[in-house]
C-alpha cells in the first residue's frame, strides 16, 4: 500500500513526531469532529505502520496529504448512515477513515490478510470505533452476502477487476466509489464489460478538492443497476 492510486505527491508535510500536521487549521476546518480521532489514527500509523508492514517509510512524511486527506475526501461523498463496505482496507485506508468520518454508518472492512485484519481490529478498539466490523476474507467470498449501500476501495485492483469484486457487495441502487489516479478515465473504458454486467449507471470520474495546502483526489463512481 505504499504507492496507492488517487493521490499526488506535493503537499503539506506533517510533523513526523506527530504533534500537529502542517496546515492544521485548514485540516480542522475540513475534518471538524473527525480531526481528533484522525490525529490518533495518524499516531498509530506513525508508531506501528512500518514495523507491521502496513506503510513504507517514505509514506510517513506524506501521511496526511497522500493518505488521510486523500481518503477523507472520498469519505466526504459517502452516505451519513447505512452500510459501507471497504474492500482491501490494508492499514485502514480508506476504511478506518470512513468509520471516523461516518460515525452513524456501519463500516465493514473486507480484508484478505489475517495480520491486517488484526491491525484493523486493534485500531478500531483504540479509537473506540464501535461502527466497524472486520471481515477476514476475499471480497469475492462475500458476493451477495453484504447488501451494502456503498462499496469503496483504494489501490486494490484495476477498475475492471475491482468492479467484479466490489459491485456484488452493494445492493441494486447502491454505489461503488473508488479512489483512482490519472488513468481513471482509461480504467472506465477498460471496465465497460464488467460495468455492463451490473448494468452500472453514471460511471464517471469526479475530482474532489482538498483543503488549502492539500492535494485534490480523483474518484470513480458508478451506481449498480442490476
Ligand X SMILES: C[S@@+](CC[C@H](N)C(=O)[O-])C[C@H]1O[C@@H](n2cnc3c(N)ncnc32)[C@H](O)[C@@H]1O
Binding site for ligand X (CB under 6 A): 1, 4, 87-91, 93, 110-113, 116, 138-140, 154-156, 165
Query: Is residue 139 marked as binding?
Result: yes
CB of 156 to ligand X, least distance (A): 5
Q: Which is nearer to ligand X, 28 or 163 (CB)?
A: 163
CB of 25 to ligand X, least distance (A): 27
Q: Which is nearer to ligand X, 34 or 96 (CB)?
A: 96
Q: Decide: helix, strand or coil at residue 22.
A: coil
Q: Decide: helix, strand or coil at residue 138.
A: coil
**Residue written as cell 474492500?**
87
CB of 48 to ligand X, least distance (A): 15
Strands 201-208 and 217-223: antiparallel
Q: Which is nearer to ligand X, 28 or 85 (CB)?
A: 85
Region label for 68, one of left (φ > 0), alpha (ψ between -120 and 50) or beta (otherwise):
alpha
DSSP string, 68-88: IIHHHHHHTTS-SSEEEEEES
Q: Binding-site residues for S-adenosyl-L-methionine, please?
A: 88, 93, 139-140, 154
Amino acid at each position: 500500500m505504499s504507492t496507492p492510486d488517487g493521490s499526488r505527491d506535493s503537499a503539506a508535510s506533517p510533523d513526523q513526531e506527530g504533534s500537529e500536521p502542517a496546515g492544521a487549521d485548514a485540516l480542522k476546518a475540513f475534518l471538524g469532529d473527525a480531526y481528533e480521532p484522525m490525529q490518533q489514527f495518524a499516531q498509530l500509523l506513525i508508531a506501528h505502520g512500518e514495523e507491521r508492514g502496513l506503510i513504507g517509510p517514505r509514506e510517513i512524511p506524506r501521511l496526511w496529504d497522500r493518505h488521510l486527506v486523500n481518503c477523507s475526501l472520498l469519505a466526504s461523498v459517502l452516505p451519513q448512515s447505512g452500510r459501507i463496505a471497504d474492500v482491501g482496507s490494508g492499514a485502514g485506508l480508506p476504511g478506518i477513515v470512513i468509520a471516523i468520518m461516518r460515525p452513524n454508518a456501519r463500516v465493514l472492512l473486507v480484508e484478505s490478510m489475517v495480520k491486517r485484519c488484526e491491525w484493523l481490529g486493534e485500531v478500531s478498539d483504540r479509537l473506540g470505533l464501535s461502527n466497524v466490523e472486520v471481515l477476514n476474507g476475499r471480497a469475492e467470498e462475500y458476493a451477495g452476502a453484504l447488501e451494502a449501500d456503498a462499496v469503496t476501495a483504494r489501490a486494490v485492483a484495476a477498475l475492471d477487476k475491482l468492479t467484479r469484486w466490489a459491485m456484488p457487495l452493494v445492493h441494486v441502487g447502491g454505489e461503488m466509489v473508488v479512489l483512482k489516479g490519472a488513468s481513471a478515465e482509461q480504467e472506465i473504458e477498460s471496465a465497460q464489460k464488467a460495468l455492463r454486467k451490473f448494468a452500472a449507471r453514471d460511471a464517471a470520474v469526479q475530482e474532489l478538492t482538498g483543503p488549502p495546502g492539500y492535494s485534490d483526489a480523483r474518484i470513480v463512481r458508478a451506481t449498480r443497476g442490476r
